[in-house]
Structure 1
């Protein structure tokens, strides 16, 4: 039986419970449904509606609900009761152990760097360039260095150096695909390619938050990034594993197939942003 996350992001979309299924109706009248027992998470946008009966049924099934704003930021969550306390105590025991945190951090950084050089290696077969092959070689060495001695600070340093090298090569690919690239920038995005990355990371963050909410995990208690009450460090820890394999690979595919072009992104006084039409295409794909 296939499991899924239900996204209610389209303006005017509605979802309700009918028997043992969640029925989703879009603004244009399209209707789809999924068995409640197949739902692992629900993400609800500000212009969508989820019935109270559906909310109760989903919570009883152990499904977490995340409510997001127009920009994709999580505004709040509803999590099933009962399992949260045990999971949080187990998380605190594990992440209070420095040795265990270091083991997790090593695995995560190694997997992230490996995913980065795999992506560049894939495209180096199409675009023969020293910046790609040289960066792949450097990242392979750095992935092996992760297992050497040192603490969390050293791992963060390796992660940061690898990211700098990787995005220099990633920028080369972006330019070869006909897009502008002014180096990796977050907010504000310096160009359309960065705006597209930021939008993709927002999707990834929502998926990670939904999975964490369903597991009853405390987003503030991570093992690699800084720990404080204002930063959901575990969210950003877990996102690292999937950035290259999912978001960055997907964005390059959209560019390569010309499903999206830079003309569909908008330059504003607050940086580049994704247009409504481009957002629709991104969500559909």
Structure 2
């Protein structure tokens, strides 16, 4: 089993990152603020204008430490990595399966819809008394409809468009009651529907930020087992898009990111004042809010759950790597099907 390594997130503008021996050193105005051994790192994520020395970039590339460059709002800009690794036979198998991906897509969607339904059922179980009767009825109706879609996906022998249609229907139903899960009185912290590029309200800004972090982890997971992150099954190929990483994160989003977003809002760890509306309507998080989210994200990844296929407990942060391994084993023919990850 792959050892769970750390990701370093750098959010303070003006930080200079350099290599000192076998360590990453962070300095602000020439004063050392942090020092991390390189052998403890899996990746480095920087936000906004951060200086990275050429020596550090070379050391990270040689050690297999990916560097992700995001803008200050968390939008992906670039990725720096060393030589491409992986078994060419595995990638050829991946490309062949991508031409007829329905079995893999079906497994991904079974995991995604089941986990969406689990998030809603957990909310009903844990907060039934706090929910208004209308909210309870709406969430219950959606869980029943998601159960129907789940059975339809499991039994479907239709093509890719049919499966994508089921995925879109499930997503619309799930997000139609997302606002019912928010237990805060602030009218500025309400869900009005999904908006991206740019996010137009605080909840969408928070979700987009968390999705960016999960995409980074899923891409690293794909590359760690030798898969091509650009060639997916559910998501269509597009230049610059890590389609396989987006596929891998679909079944994990409801649990790893959506539930974390709900917790941060419902526990009042984030408030309306932590978000700022820019010209053009885009909503962004403050620097302090980003640090709060990153801390909560790292803590969330430490939580352990039983992997339903492996029957082993593993930290949530390791799940993308485990799922990438399961996918690689399926593509090599070691597993008859790709086993999705179910949250329980």
Common fold, TM-score beyond 0.5?
yes
Q: TM-score range by the shorter chain?
A: 0.7 to 0.9
Aligned alpha-carbon RMSD (Å): 2.7
Match of 1:36 among 32, 35, 38: 38
Correspondence 1:168-183 to 2 at 5 A: 168-174=176-182, 176-178=183-185, 179-183=189-193
Correspondence 1:2-13 to 2 at 5 A: 2-13=4-15
Indicate the residue corresponding to 1:282 in structure 2: 293
Distance 1:2 1:215, change over 3 A: closer
Instruction: Give secondary structure in 1 for the equivalent of 2:101.
Output: helix
Distance 1:93 1:63, change over 3 A: same
Indicate the residue corresponding to 1:72 in structure 2: 74
Q: Following TM superposition, by how much is the alpha carbon of 1:214 offset from its aligned partner in structure 2, in angstroms?
A: 4.9
Unaligned runs of 5+ in 2: 297-344
Q: Are 1:155 and 2:155 an aligned pair?
A: no
Indicate the residue corresponding to 1:113 in structure 2: 113
Correspondence 1:31-110 to 2 at 5 A: 31-81=33-83, 83=85, 86-87=87-88, 90-97=90-97, 101-110=101-110
Counterpart-to-counterpart distance in 1, 2:258 and 2:169:
18
Q: Following TM superposition, by how much is the alpha carbon of 1:249 offset from its aligned partner in structure 2, in angstroms?
A: 0.7
Q: Following TM superposition, by how much is the alpha carbon of 1:40 offset from its aligned partner in structure 2, in angstroms?
A: 1.3
Indicate the residue corresponding to 1:243 in structure 2: 253
Distance 1:210 1:99, change over 3 A: closer
Q: Are 1:136 and 2:143 an aligned pair?
A: yes
Q: Following TM superposition, by how much is the alpha carbon of 1:28 offset from its aligned partner in structure 2, in angstroms?
A: 10
Q: Following TM superposition, by how much is the alpha carbon of 1:273 offset from its aligned partner in structure 2, in angstroms?
A: 0.9
Counterpart-to-counterpart distance in 2, 1:192 and 1:63:
32
TM-score using structure 2 length = 0.72
Q: Following TM superposition, by how much is the alpha carbon of 1:83 offset from its aligned partner in structure 2, in angstroms?
A: 1.8
Distance 1:22 1:37, change over 3 A: same
Indicate the residue corresponding to 1:20 in structure 2: 22
Q: Following TM superposition, by how much is the alpha carbon of 1:3 offset from its aligned partner in structure 2, in angstroms?
A: 0.9
Distance 1:134 1:211, change over 3 A: same
1:56-83 superposed Cα distances (whole Å, 9 cap, x missing partner): 2222222222222233233322222252
Distance 1:70 1:267, change over 3 A: closer
TM-score using structure 1 length = 0.85
Instruction: Give secondary structure in 1 for the equivalent of 2:194.
Output: coil
Indicate the residue corresponding to 1:146 in structure 2: 153
Distance 1:118 1:29, change over 3 A: farther
Counterpart-to-counterpart distance in 2, 1:62 and 1:45:
20
Counterpart-to-counterpart distance in 2, 1:7 and 1:162:
33
Counterpart-to-counterpart distance in 2, 1:69 and 1:187:
13
Distance 1:98 1:215, change over 3 A: closer
Counterpart-to-counterpart distance in 2, 1:18 and 1:33:
9
Q: For this pair of structures, how many residues does the alignment match?
A: 282
Unaligned runs of 5+ in 1: none
User: After TM superposition, where is structure 1 displaced by more than 6 Å over at least 4 residues in a row?
Assistant: none
> Is the CA contact (8 Å cut-off) linking 2:76 and 2:212 kept in structure 1?
no
